[in-house]
Structure 1
Amino acid sequence: MQPSRRRWLILGLILGAIVLNYIDRQILSILKPTLKAEFGFDDRGYAMLANVFTVGYALMYPVAGWLVDRFGARSVMLLGIVSWSTACLGAGLTRSLGAFTFFRGMLGLSEPTAFPAQLRVVTMWFPGALRATANSLCVAGGSLGALIAPPLVAGLALSWGWHAAFIVPATLGLVIAVLWSFVYRDPPADQVIEGQTLAQRIQGPAFTWPQLWRTRTLWGILLIRFISDPVWYFCLFWLPGYLQENSGLTLAQIGMVGWIPFLVADLGGIGTAMWSDRMVRNGAAPLRARKVMLVTTACFAPICGLTPLLPHVAVTLVIFSIVGAVCLSWLFSLSVVIAEAFPTRNVASVLGIAGGCGAAGAVVFNTFVGDMMVRFGPGRVFAVMAVLHPIAAVLLWTMTRPEKPPAASLSPQAVCAS
């Protein structure tokens, strides 16, 4: 198969894998009232379950990035798909809270493998003028999964019980794993992208692990993800339950309309990524194009604060459609910022560290949300979320830049071992 055709097929498989990745994690939030009744927990208990996933996610994300840089995208992605599908299957077969919690933790430990592997693939297979678009199409699987999840999960649960809502996506994930093992290959070593072959890019200078921690851009990305990621985690873990418990929607109605914010978020994230690629094709420096786009989208984030003041369900859906588009614009294009600020051999590690930091922020925020929901209601939560992306925009503009490793070229083995 021609490399120009294979790269889009690979992109399609990654899209499918990430769709199922997000469906698996979304099942808990969509079935929140059902599972609360099944296992007997309140919002604090739900926050604990969400954090079991998120703590594992935060801990494993940096490890996943290192594994991708050490062993390659093919094997790590395959291991990840099999592991998270097995965890979802286990959750669907269990009948005790303890076992359910265990498999939720296993899901959190396995799902981070997808994103460092995906970024490594995009960086290796696509040039800069296509990179943001390819990355956004690929990562859009997350919000596409969140979009598909409400009607799929609600339909399965209402038709065959909540166990089926876990078992069916898990089975589909194992099918994707088989297809990935047959289709994925690294690009040919002599394929030229932006004036360099793959061999030249992989063998070029790169940071060691200690050197990465001395770069200003890494610390900027970590702070940005810690501050901004919790807003998207709220959309994933709390919004479906909020629409049922505060806006009065039934599970069947969630299946009918709960996907709307995620569809708009997907379209917004892809559209803004294409806008930044267009700026690059028109002569803008790639990193500056991403910054301009992200700062612009952050200006829309404060609309979140209006949610408790305008409580009608239709208004809530509109507000979180806009908020979701802001979140995905940042999640999609911050990966591209990493790819353009760091050498190819470092991008998976940097994304892993950053993703873990974002998940750690979500752990803190989830605990805050659970406590605030019980004690004061949701108003204070929305007020905090309204300012997080504007703060992240200031950090992005002032702390990120292209980072150059020491002039002496390091071998791949030295970088991976450090």
Structure 2
Amino acid sequence: MILTPERRRWLIVAVIFVALVFNYLDRQIVAILKPVLKSEYQLDDSGYAMLLNLFTISYAVMYPIGGWLVDRFGPRNVMGIGIIGWSLACIGGGMARTIGMFGLSRAMLGAAEPTNYPAQLKVVAIWFPGRLRATANSLCVAGGSIGAIIAPPLIAWVAISFGWRNVFFIAGAIGLMIALAWWLVYRDPPESIRRDVEASAAKTGDGAKFTWPQLWRTRSLWGILLIRFVSDPVWYFCLFWLPGYLQEDSGLTLQQVGMVGWIPFLAADIGAIATAAWSDRMVRRGGTPLLSRKRMLTVVGLLAPLCALTPYLPSAFTTLLVFSLVAVAALSWLFTISVVIAESFPVANAASVLGIAGGCGAAGAVVFNYFVGQLIGSVGAHQIFLVMALLHPIAIVILWTMVREERVPQSPARALS
């Protein structure tokens, strides 16, 4: 079968999807094996928190740098090296015999992983026209949340069957195979694809791009940063706080959480892909790409305030139902705000903007996690859900007032040519 450019771009999407599945699985290993690792390395909870912080700080710092590297050296090189880097870091975790070496492996994992999302966005921006971009983007980044679904049973099974160190070895080996597949499959788009993408894109100049100082003077960059800062924490709550809430407040056992706790994440994946396809359909019917994304995000964002009902819900089933809708809203925003970046900035700047925004979203999650911990320990969960209910409406206001198509200012010489 001849691999036409149209077929190749969907094969590239498939490889990115698999890479992000295992990228997310690798970062979840420590959380799932927490008791084993605490025993192995003689850690208390503060020592375990240190391991998490080594990853998180490296991740937040390297996200903007990863975006710049993608714009500078291209997605093929940066993503390929990044996959190799986090795979070797994962293998290093299995080899570590001291807490210092294990902590170093987690820091390396955090430094290597942020290359993936800016590279993925760059690929979508240069391979897919506006009418397909949101769908392609959502299919790529769905890998992360699919990883959240499969990580607990898969990691537990490998650890029980083959020993906990082999979890790291196997995951790292799979990552190296993904890196090989990436190098074999990925190519820069041919001229026919480039013409199609350029014909559908809003005009931002003849290949022009913002300089770094110019980028920071754009209103849209600050809008995107604020959106990620206020909206990302809702998704992080779904990932890291919802399982505990289902046990402590909704009455489920750990086994029951394992049986049904994946439901909101599956709903989020399906919903986020469907909403992205809906916004693409609006584009195909004549809507401008950026306006279509804004309309979809506004409608979906209005689902998020349903979380304010959580403390008053009568059962775990209703809590799961409400948070399935909230997760659809949160993940739809996380998916499609990347497309908004690609349609607000020149392609040459898109990965850098996503990198900065990703770091800002991680910072928002750190602040919110502290806020949640303080409230749960003092005045209860009601205020937490009330605050969460306000975050996406605030993001909607920012989206409509601050985010627009940014045009590179022409130099006098260019304007006269």
Using the size of structure 2 for normalisation, the TM-score is 0.89
Kept in 1, the 8 Å contact 2:58–2:110? The answer is yes
Aligned identity (percent) is: 62
Partner of 1:177: 179
Describe the shift of the 1:195–1:49 C-alpha distance in structure 2 as closer, same or farther (beyond 3 A): closer
Alignment partners' CA distance in 1, 2:200 and 2:317: 51
1:321 to 319, 324, 343: 324
1:204 to 193, 204, 207: 207
Partner of 2:85: 83
Partner of 1:365: 368
What is the correspondence of 1:140-155 to structure 2 with a 5 Å cutoff? Answer: 140-155=142-157
Higher relative contact order (CA 8 A, sep 6+): 1
Shift of 1:238: 3.2
Describe the shift of the 1:41–1:372 C-alpha distance in structure 2 as closer, same or farther (beyond 3 A): farther
Q: Which amino acid aligns with 2:227?
A: I
Kept in 2, the 8 Å contact 1:51–1:366? The answer is no
Partner of 2:54: 52
178-187 vs 84-93, greater mean Cα deviation = 84-93
Alignment partners' CA distance in 1, 2:55 and 2:210: 31
Q: Helix, strand or coil: the match of 1:187?
A: coil
Kept in 1, the 8 Å contact 2:17–2:141? The answer is yes
Unaligned 5+ runs, structure 1: 412-418
Describe the shift of the 1:268–1:363 C-alpha distance in structure 2 as closer, same or farther (beyond 3 A): same
Q: Which amino acid aligns with 1:343?
A: P
Alignment partners' CA distance in 2, 1:147 and 1:136: 16
Q: Which amino acid aligns with 1:287?
A: L
263-272 vs 52-61, greater mean Cα deviation = 52-61
Kept in 1, the 8 Å contact 2:24–2:147? The answer is yes
Shift of 1:409: 10
Shift of 1:356: 1.1
Kept in 1, the 8 Å contact 2:300–2:329? The answer is yes
Shift of 1:352: 0.9
Q: Which amino acid aligns with 2:306?
A: I
What is the correspondence of 1:210-225 to structure 2 with a 5 Å cutoff? Answer: 210-225=213-228
**CA-to-partner distance for each residue in 1:76-107, whole Å, 9 max, x for gaps?**
00111111122223334445544433322222
Partner of 1:414: none
Partner of 1:4: 6
* Residue 67 of structure 1 pairs with residue 69 of structure 2: yes
Shift of 1:30: 3.6
Q: Which amino acid aligns with 1:209?
A: W
Kept in 2, the 8 Å contact 1:123–1:344? The answer is yes
* Residue 127 of structure 1 pairs with residue 160 of structure 2: no
Kept in 2, the 8 Å contact 1:300–1:326? The answer is yes
Unaligned 5+ runs, structure 2: none
Partner of 1:107: 109
Shift of 1:374: 4.5
Shift of 1:357: 0.9
Q: Helix, strand or coil: the match of 2:408?
A: coil
Q: Which amino acid aligns with 1:103?
A: S
226-235 vs 270-279, greater mean Cα deviation = 226-235
1:229 to 229, 232, 243: 232
Q: Which amino acid aligns with 1:104?
A: R
2:138 to 136, 139, 145: 136
Alignment partners' CA distance in 2, 1:197 and 1:41: 55
Q: Helix, strand or coil: the match of 1:193?
A: helix
Q: Helix, strand or coil: the match of 1:176?
A: helix
Q: Which amino acid aligns with 1:136?
A: S
Alignment partners' CA distance in 2, 1:47 and 1:364: 15
Shift of 1:167: 3.3
Describe the shift of the 1:184–1:401 C-alpha distance in structure 2 as closer, same or farther (beyond 3 A): same
Q: Which amino acid aligns with 1:213?
A: W
Q: Which amino acid aligns with 1:108?
A: G
**CA-to-partner distance for each residue in 1:370-391, whole Å, 9 max, x for gaps?**
4444455544433332221111
1:354 to 357, 378, 381: 357
Alignment partners' CA distance in 1, 2:413 and 2:321: 50
Q: Which amino acid aligns with 1:354?
A: A
What is the correspondence of 1:237-386 to structure 2 with a 5 Å cutoff? Answer: 237-243=240-246, 252-310=255-313, 312-375=315-378, 378-386=381-389
Describe the shift of the 1:268–1:10 C-alpha distance in structure 2 as closer, same or farther (beyond 3 A): same
Describe the shift of the 1:240–1:162 C-alpha distance in structure 2 as closer, same or farther (beyond 3 A): farther
Partner of 1:117: 119
Kept in 1, the 8 Å contact 2:122–2:351? The answer is yes
Q: Helix, strand or coil: the match of 2:189?
A: coil
Aligned-residue RMSD, C-alpha: 2.8
Describe the shift of the 1:45–1:379 C-alpha distance in structure 2 as closer, same or farther (beyond 3 A): farther
Q: Which amino acid aligns with 1:369?
A: V
Kept in 1, the 8 Å contact 2:204–2:406? The answer is no
**CA-to-partner distance for each residue in 1:254-281, whole Å, 9 max, x for gaps?**
4432322111110011011011111111
Alignment partners' CA distance in 2, 1:40 and 1:246: 28
Aligned residues: 409
Partner of 1:415: none
Alignment partners' CA distance in 1, 2:285 and 2:353: 28
**CA-to-partner distance for each residue in 1:36-79, whole Å, 9 max, x for gaps?**
6665434x665554433222211111100100000000010011
Alignment partners' CA distance in 1, 2:247 and 2:32: 9
Q: Helix, strand or coil: the match of 1:207?
A: coil
* Residue 166 of structure 1 pairs with residue 168 of structure 2: yes
Alignment partners' CA distance in 1, 2:237 and 2:95: 27
Q: Helix, strand or coil: the match of 2:210?
A: coil
Q: Which amino acid aligns with 2:395?
A: A
Describe the shift of the 1:230–1:135 C-alpha distance in structure 2 as closer, same or farther (beyond 3 A): same
Using the size of structure 1 for normalisation, the TM-score is 0.89
Q: Which amino acid aligns with 1:381?
A: I
Shift of 1:170: 2.3
Shift of 1:177: 0.7
Shift of 1:233: 2.0
Kept in 2, the 8 Å contact 1:28–1:237? The answer is no
